[in-house]
Structure 1
């Protein structure tokens, strides 16, 4: 079964997610922004979700992680789920 590890930032609005993505693309630290802005308890770890299996996350999140070809520098999103809007940095998939 496929596994991945990722960081994420969860916010209420798409506009907030886009603004944070712009900051990251201009050099802001993903983990620092996660600690400050994310609504997820993972914010205490800089948005680190650890390792998870395909199918463990809500479908839109899972699809974004496992179907995108990304490197550690790129940020996926905003990805809308029932929880809000996510920015995702995939650390690895295997």
Structure 2
């Protein structure tokens, strides 16, 4: 079974997401950005979503979780909850 570890920052507008993305590109810590900007309760954990399998998060985010490069920041991705910046930390397939 595929297990994914990821973190995210959820904001209300694409402009906010782009502003946070720029700060990350300039070297700001993901965890600090999540704590400062994210509107999701995961902000307290630096945006950590923990470990999960396919189908457990918003479907709009699924392609990033399954195909995104480890350590790259993707977004903004729009969902019903807002705009997300997503980083895949690890991906493991334990089905073998």
TM-score for both structures, normalised by structure 1:
0.93
Aligned to 2:27: 27
Q: CA deviation at 1:61?
A: 1.1
Task: Determine which structure has more spread, i.e. the larger CA radius of gyration.
Answer: 2
Q: CA deviation at 1:67?
A: 2.1
Aligned to 1:38: 38
The yes-or-no answer on 1:86 pairing with 2:94 is no
How do 1:1-94 and structure 2 match up within 5 A?
Answer: 1-68=1-68, 70-72=69-71, 74-94=72-92
The unaligned stretches of length 5 or more in structure 2 are none
Q: Give the Cα separation in 2 of the matches to 1:37 and 1:80.
A: 16
Runs of 4+ aligned structure 1 residues displaced above 4 Å come to: none
Q: Give the Cα separation in 1 of the matches to 2:42 and 2:67.
A: 23
Q: Give the Cα separation in 2 of the matches to 1:50 and 1:12.
A: 22
Tell me the secondary structure at the aligned position of residue 60 of structure 1: coil
Q: Give the Cα separation in 1 of the matches to 2:3 and 2:54.
A: 6
